[in-house]
């Protein structure tokens, strides 16, 4: 019909496509190297620039795939990400293909990438993605929980007070929640979840997804706490079931507010966090004051 590939690929912005290269995000295997797509294999072998979270791991991946990386390799990890962006933008403007990969899974998802993507978007430069492995969607799929709607919260906070305050924001969250946790903090994290969300909330702990010792433990939070007490190793992804909300009386939530206050949250903020279906933060605030007057 006379429409060239540049016009199709950029929604009619043929001049940008002709004058520039592109940034390509690519998901890499989380453990099983055979999960690498043919498109990833081709991109690693042909990209002009390969920006890698860890160049050594990316070279090892290429060797495992029997691929030779011919492009220039650039380290692109958290502490150098901002400094490397200008030169990578220049590469794209010069017509080069820049391939961005992280150690495992999809760039930008709790890994380097989003700042470079945002910079390319701001500069009007093409960005595309090669779909691939992601711990988030893999964990959701195997969790055995209702996950038609979900949210992703990255890594759980490290400190107990902040972690409990964060869990309180999930008390009334009807979507499933996916988050990452370090193995040595998992038992404490699950114990805090029990304290804030209750023992019966269901969850799944996914360990070493796609790897030799993959393990998925499903159960209530209290059951998972018992399982984690002996120590856990490997990469951890947790899927927390969404809340099943029922209207409550303000008095039923007073203890939760006082727990938040004890952890360092201000009274008004604690009421806002603990307010739930049928109970406004104003009603809860008044209930807390009335409870304190009656002591």
pLDDT at 274: 83
What is the tens place of the pLDDT at every residue in 221-252? 999 999 999 999 999 999 999 998 765 788 88
In the structure, what pLDDT confidence band is assigned to residue 4 with cuts at 50, 70 and 90? very low
- State how far the Cα of 3 lies from the Cα of 143, in Å rounded to an integer: 46
Contacts of 46 (CB under 8 A, 6+ apart): 70, 71, 97
pLDDT at 142: 97
What is the tens place of the pLDDT at every residue in 62-108? 999 999 999 999 999 989 999 999 999 999 999 999 999 999 999 99
Beta strands in 1-106 (DSSP E): 22-26, 49-52, 72-75, 97-101
Contacts of 31 (CB under 8 A, 6+ apart): 104, 208, 209, 210, 211, 212, 214
CB 199 within 8 A of CB 221: yes
What is the tens place of the pLDDT at every residue in 249-267? 888 889 989 998 998 989 9
Q: For the purposes of burial, counting CB atoms within 10 Å of the CB of 3, is it exposed (0-12), middle (13-18) or buried (19 or more)?
A: exposed
What is the tens place of the pLDDT at every residue in 124-172? 999 999 999 999 999 999 999 999 999 999 999 999 999 999 999 999 8
CB 197 within 8 A of CB 185: no
Q: Which structure tokens are listed for 21?
A: 């290269």
**Burial readout 57-83 (b: 16 or more C-beta within 10 A, e: otherwise):** ebbebbeebebebebebbebbeeebee
- State how far the Cα of 65 lies from the Cα of 44, in Å rounded to an integer: 10
Distance, CA of 146 to chain centre: 18
Q: Which structure tokens are listed for 23?
A: 């940034």
Beta strands in 208-282 (DSSP E): 215-220, 236-240
Alpha helices, DSSP H, located in 124-185: 135-142, 160-169
Contacts of 86 (CB under 8 A, 6+ apart): none
Find the helix packing angle between 186-197 and 221-228, rounded to 10°. Answer: 160
CB 17 within 8 A of CB 122: no
- State how far the Cα of 174 lies from the Cα of 18, in Å rounded to an integer: 46
Nearest to 285 by CA among 248, 259, 272: 272
Nearest to 18 by CA among 95, 87, 88: 95
pLDDT at 36: 96
Q: In the β-sheet with 150-155, what is the strand arrangement from edge to edge?
A: 150-155, 176-181, 236-240, 202-207, 215-220
């Amino acid at each position: 019909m006379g429409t060239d590939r540049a016009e199709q690929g950029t929604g009619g912005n043929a001049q940008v496509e002709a004058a520039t290269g592109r940034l390509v995000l690519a998901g890499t295997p989380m453990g099983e190297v055979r999960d690498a797509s043919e498109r990833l294999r081709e991109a690693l072998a042909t990209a002009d620039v390969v920006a890698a979270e860890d160049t050594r791991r990316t070279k090892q991946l290429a060797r495992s795939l029997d691929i030779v990386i011919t492009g220039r390799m650039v380290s692109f990890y958290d502490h150098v990400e901002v400094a490397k962006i200008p030169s990578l933008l220049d590469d794209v403007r010069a017509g080069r293909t820049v391939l961005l990969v992280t150690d495992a899974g999809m760039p930008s998802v709790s890994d380097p990438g989003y700042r470079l993507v945002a910079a390319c978007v701001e500069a009007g430069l093409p960005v595309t993605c090669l779909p691939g492995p992601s711990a988030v969607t893999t964990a959701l799929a195997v969790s055995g929980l209702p996950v038609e709607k979900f949210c992703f919260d990255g890594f759980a906070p490290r400190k107990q007070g902040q972690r409990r305050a964060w869990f309180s924001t999930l008390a009334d969250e009807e979507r499933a929640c996916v988050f990452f946790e370090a193995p040595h903090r998992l038992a404490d994290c699950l114990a805090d979840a029990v304290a804030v969300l209750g023992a019966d909330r269901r969850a799944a702990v996914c360990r070493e997804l796609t790897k030799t010792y993959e393990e998925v433990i499903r159960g209530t939070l209290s059951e998972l706490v018992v399982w984690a007490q002996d120590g856990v190793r490997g990469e951890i992804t947790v899927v927390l079931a969404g809340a099943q909300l029922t209207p409550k009386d303000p008095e039923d939530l007073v203890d939760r507010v006082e727990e938040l206050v004890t952890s360092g949250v201000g009274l008004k903020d604690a009421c806002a966090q603990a307010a739930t279906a049928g109970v406004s933060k104003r009603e809860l605030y008044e209930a807390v004051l009335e409870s304190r007057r009656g002591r």
